[in-house]
Amino acid sequence: MQRDFGISLWGEGNFVIDGDDVRVNHADKPALLSLTQEIRAQGHRGPILLRFPHLIKKQIDQLFEAFSAAKKEFDYQGDFRALFPLKVNQYPNFIHHLIHVSQGYAYGLEAGSKAELIIAMAKTPIGAPITVNGFKDKEMISLIYIAAKSGHHITVTIEGLGELETIARVHREFNAGSEIPVAPSIGMRVRLHSTGIGSWAKSGGYGSKFGLSSTELLEAYDILEKEGMAAHFSMIHFHIGSQMNEINPLKKALREVGHIYTGLKQRGAQALKAINIGGGLAVEYSQHAAMQERNYSLKEFANDVVFLMQEIAKSKGVEEPDIYTESGRFVAASHAVLIAPVLELFSQEYHESGLRLKAQNPPLIEELHALYQTINRLHAKEYLHDALDHMESLLTLFDLGYIDLEDRSNTEILVNLIIKKAIFLLKDEDTDELKRLESRIQEKYLVNFSLFQSLPDRWGMGQGFPVMPISHLSQKPTRPASIWDITCDSDGEIAFDVSHPLHLHDVDVAQEEYFLGFFLTGAYQEVLGMQHNLFTHPTEIVVTFDETGKYQLSDMIEAQNLMDVLDDLDYDTEVIDQILKHMVEASSLMDEQQKQDILDKLSLYLSENSYLKTIQAIIAEKKRG
């Protein structure tokens, strides 16, 4: 990785490095560091989630522009429509801005559960589409009928034959006595024989959890005809799986679904006029050119979809279908950036000043010391090998009781310093051995966030997210870094990886602030985030820009405080509060004045969140008095 932390690969021009800073590449281009400092100056601690609605707009604009260009290029007759799948991000600060920035596109919402359906019914502008996927009971289908009767353009996607009978029942109930029956549009999810690829490929293929086989499709169509509901059957749907990293599986799936569409049309499915291609459009998360995750562009994606649908429709002489997409990751990922303070660098003890050399040292230690003082470019490798060899011998001597703890500490420090010097002297050589040695001198950065809460896909799926410091960028980052979160779980770590290393700056966090930015965290991470160790969703804030281009901070939602978290777990927090206070009041270890002070402190602490206060925060608070 270069000095730019791969921003040219994953950044899409959304952020730029300018001197020491990384700036939002929009309007007055605020530096992420100044946004962070402004928010922290209001007393907010711990990690901060920044949302940028202009980046939601950018993605939606690009999606519609790509399909509009493809339709034009091929003179395609079907419409293009798009929906946001709520499961990707249901947070109100996101949805509110998504609806706001997509005005004019009739951009809709896709729901996969009753609660999501309620959001879709309340938030989708009338005229924009709603689709409902996933398994449904009678109550959920009734909600869909309520939406349809309220004027929503809503499509219910059948996942299994059983749902059809329920739909027919609800249809009769809701339309008893009506002159003109009102019903949602009916879609059918098809079980494709093609599968996706990558970690999220399970949504496609014969073994997939969702969709109807071709036998079931034909049966379903017969049931619709028998129930007199065939006129409502308008869409077939598939979803190949998320973060589709190659385009070929999609093309295969499109051919398959295209022929299912024409087959049903030829069978007489008059009202059928749309193919919903689900989501899957990938996001480039990689910071390293050799590890890129997506082998196609948005333009290629749109062109392939439109071209293939046209080709198949033409070959069978049926009308070109409307195309619906439900791309979620592509729309949401870039809008959110998590900023988290570094609390501590763990290996700072490996400084020359930490040496405890004696008047008389064991000979091997004397030699290590001499190697450290005289290592030069010409002999760097040889000295390095000698140092590693001495270390092995010294550790054996320690095990056998021949050297003491101070000698062992001197060994650790000297070898660490020699490796660092050698890497520096040999930095132009770039050999495998040097890369491996980097992991031995890696610095452990303790960062004030929870990986389980803020990057759950890193923990669960091994998904990488771009990470970089938001300051110091005119300096070369020299320290091979691993990142530790503050949970008490050893999985809460982003380990140093020799094959795609991360280097960070050598900073003294007692003297200066150092924040890391985790990018592309706007899709899936928030609602999948777990309260492991009872760390909560971080404080979030929305960054918009006014007409003059000046940025505005708004819609802050603070991280939950300790008692709210316990309340969520259904603890009786009033009882807990009373117990704690009573323990202080009843204690015989304090006088009345001390008790009052402690009670004041206790209520203050209970009103705060779980994240740690950084050293700088404590200093700043002291300064404020």
Ligand X SMILES: *Cc1c(COP(=O)(O)O)cnc(C)c1O
**Nearer to ligand X by C-beta: 44 or 81?**
81
Q: Nearest distance from residue 526's CB to ligand X, in Å?
A: 13
Residue 136 binding ligand X, by CB under 6 A: no
DSSP code at position 190: B
How many binding residues for ligand X (CB under 6 A)?
Answer: 16
Minimum distance of ligand X from residue 527's CB (angstroms): 12
Contact 211, 189 (CB under 8 A): yes
Q: Are 129 and 325 in contact (CB under 8 A)?
A: no
Number of C-beta neighbours around residue 219 at 10 A: 14
**Complete DSSP assignment for 219-285:** HHHHHHHHTT-GGGEEEEE----SSB--SHHHHHHHHHHHHHHHHHHHTT-TT--EEE----B----
Contact status: 444 vs ligand X (CB under 6 A): no
- Confirm or reject binding of residue 326 to ligand X (CB under 6 A): yes
Show Cβ contacts of residue 509 under 8 Å, excluding neighbours closer than 6 positions. Answer: 342, 343, 344, 345, 614, 615, 616
Taking the complex as a whole, the smallest distance from the CB of residue 203 to ligand X amounts, in Å, to 6
Exactly one of 129, 196, 204, 280 binds ligand X (CB under 6 A); that residue is 280
Contact partners, residue 368, CB within 8 Å, separation at least 6: 387, 390, 391, 394, 410, 411, 414, 415, 418
Nearer to ligand X, 328 or 464 (CB): 328
Stretch that binds ligand X, among 100-108, 257-265, 324-332, 457-465 (CB under 6 A): 324-332
From 305-313, 326-334, 406-414, 452-460, give the range in contact with ligand X by CB under 6 A. 326-334
Cα dihedral angle (41, 45, 46, 47), rounded to 10 degrees? -40
Q: Give the CA-trace dihedral at 290, 293, 297, 298, to 10 degrees.
A: -160
Whole-number minimum distance, CB 138 to ligand X, in Å?
22
Nearest approach, Cβ of residue 551 and ligand X (Å): 28
DSSP code, position 105: T
Query: Could you say whether residue 279 binds ligand X (CB under 6 A)?
Result: yes
Which residue's CB is nearer to ligand X, number 11 or number 328?
Answer: 328
Tell me how far apart the alpha carbons of residues 595 and 314 are, in angstroms, rounded to a whole number. Answer: 83
Query: Segment near ligand X (CB under 6 A), from 81-89, 397-405, 476-484, 608-616?
Result: 81-89
**CB 277, min distance to ligand X, A:** 9
What's the closest the beta carbon of residue 329 comes to ligand X, in angstroms?
4
466 vs 477, which CB is nearer to ligand X? Answer: 466
- Residue 622 CB, shortest distance to ligand X, in Å, is 46
Cβ 197 to ligand X shortest distance, Å: 13
Cβ at position 99, least distance to ligand X in Å:
18
The binder of ligand X chosen from 23, 294, 329, 444 (CB under 6 A)? 329
In 3-state terms, what secondary structure has residue 343?
A: strand
Q: How far is residue 481's CA from residue 287's CA, in Å, rounded to a whole number?
A: 15
Tell me: does residue 33 bind ligand X (CB under 6 A): no
**Assigned token pair, 419:** 């490796």
Contacts of 85 (CB under 8 A, 6+ apart): 109, 110, 112, 279, 326, 327, 328
Residue 30 or 196 with smaller CB distance to ligand X: 196
Amino acid identity for residue 580 in this structure: L
Complex with ligand X: residue 48 or 144, whichever CB lies closer: 144
Q: Which of residues 229-258 bind ligand X (CB under 6 A)?
A: 239, 242
Under the criterion CB under 6 A, does residue 321 sit at the interface with ligand X? no
Contact pick of 328, 464, 466, 477 for ligand X (by CB under 6 A): 328
The pairs formed by 548-555 with CB atoms below 8 angstroms and a separation of 24 or more are 549/27, 549/28, 550/27, 550/28, 551/24, 551/27, 551/28, 551/30, 551/35, 553/35, 553/38, 553/39, 555/93, 555/96
For strands 336-345 and 515-518, give the pairing. Answer: antiparallel
Please choose, out of 46-54, 266-274, 325-333, 527-535, the segment that lies near ligand X by the rule CB under 6 A: 325-333
What is residue 375's three-state secondary structure?
coil
Closer of 46 and 279 to ligand X (Cβ) = 279
Q: State the minimum distance, in angstroms, from the CB of residue 235 to ligand X.
A: 12
85 or 258, CB closer to ligand X? 85
Report the residue number, 330 or 519, with the smaller CB distance to ligand X.
Answer: 330
Decide: is 187 part of the binding site for ligand X (CB under 6 A): no
Residue closer to ligand X by CB (options 327, 610) is 327
Q: Stretches 80-88, 169-177, 310-318, 496-504: which one binds ligand X (CB under 6 A)?
A: 80-88
14 or 133: CB nearest ligand X: 133
Q: What's the closest the beta carbon of residue 519 comes to ligand X, in angstroms?
A: 17
Site string for ligand X, 561-580 (x = CB under 6 A): --------------------
Q: How far is the CB of 48 from ligand X (least distance, A)?
A: 25
Phi-psi region of 462 (alpha: psi -120 to 50; beta: other; left: phi over 0): left
Q: How far is the CB of 324 from ligand X (least distance, A)?
A: 10
Q: Pick one of 258, 278, 321, 456: the residue that binds ligand X (CB under 6 A).
A: 278
| Residue written as token pair 């966030």 | 449
Taking the complex as a whole, the smallest distance from the CB of residue 113 to ligand X amounts, in Å, to: 11
Does 129 bind ligand X (CB under 6 A)? Our answer is: no
The residue among 328 and 362 lying less far from ligand X, judged by its C-beta, is 328
Exactly one of 117, 281, 447, 543 binds ligand X (CB under 6 A); which one? Answer: 281
Residue length of the chain: 625
And the tokens for 286?
């990689």
| Number of Cα atoms under 13 Å in the Cβ half of residue 91 | 26
Rounded Cα distance between 208 and 192, Å, is 9
Phi, psi of 406 (to 5 degrees): -65, -40
* Vertex 330 angle, CA 62 and 304, to 5°: 65
**Which of 327, 448, 609, 614 forms a contact with ligand X (CB under 6 A)?**
327
- Which residues in 84-113 contact ligand X (CB under 6 A)? 85, 87-88, 110
Determine contact, residues 24/52, Cβ cutoff 8 Å.
yes
3-state SS record for 516-550: EEECCCCCCHHHHCCCHHHCCCCEEEEEEECCCCC
The answer to whether residues 238 and 190 touch, using CB atoms and an 8 Å cutoff, is yes
Nearer to ligand X, 83 or 368 (CB): 83
Q: Which residue lies nearer to ligand X by CB, 188 or 281?
A: 281
- Provide, rounded to whole angstroms, the least separation between the CB of residue 211 and ligand X: 10
Distance CA(40)–CA(35), nearest Å, equals 9
Indicate the residue whose CB is closest to ligand X: 279
Positions touching ligand X (CB under 6 A) are 85, 87-88, 110, 133, 239, 242, 278-281, 326-330
